[in-house]
Amino acid sequence: MDYKKYSDYMNNIDQTIINKAKNIKLLILDVDGVMTDGGIIISETNSESKKFFAQDGHGIMIIRELGIEVAIISGRYSKAVEHRGKELGFTTIIQSSRNKLLDYEKKFSNKYSLKDVCFVGDDIGEVTDGILRVFKTETLPLAYDDVVWSNILARIFKLDMDDALLI
């Protein structure tokens, strides 16, 4: 993403979003389509690989330095996610999630209130699990602008899928 595009974007963020972001203590990310471009590469030997965006990694490291806990809740399992998550210092990596809202509640509801959480997702699983509907009222759910359920989100990122989401 070029600097001017990013700068213009940042200057137009709604004040409500900025105020909610000030309270964030936990960032939960989906993987496919959020930390990656959404593509899944499966070889003939059934090994899976993913293409992570390097600048997202830098953004996550900055977020951690601010004292914000970072976690992954993904509907798929991949060793690549485990490796990347550990490399970036994710405190929790939940994969093969069948219900992201329940996984959030089991792991984090005793530690964080919803106003402390930012969830970034991109697929219908987040809606069917109810996680974004629940988070909409209290916290800061985020996604790219091409998701079909954008009307329930607090903020839609106006980015191309090849751009970094977390910088």
Tell me which DSSP letter residue 31 carries: S
Q: Where are the domains of the chain?
A: 3-38+49-157
Query: Rounded to whole angstroms, how far apart are CA atoms 36 and 110?
Result: 30
- The superfamily CATH assigns to domain 3-38+49-157 is HAD superfamily/HAD-like (3.40.50.1000)
Measured in Å, how far apart are the chain's first and last C-alpha atoms?
10
> From the first residue on, what is the mean pLDDT of each consecutive set of 10 residues in the chain (167 residues)?
62 74 88 84 89 85 93 93 95 92 91 86 59 55 51 45 42
Residue 159: Cβ within 10 Å count? 17
- DSSP run (H or E) holding 17: helix 15-21
What is the reported pLDDT for 10? Answer: 67
CB 49 within 8 A of CB 21: no
What is the reported pLDDT for 158? Answer: 44
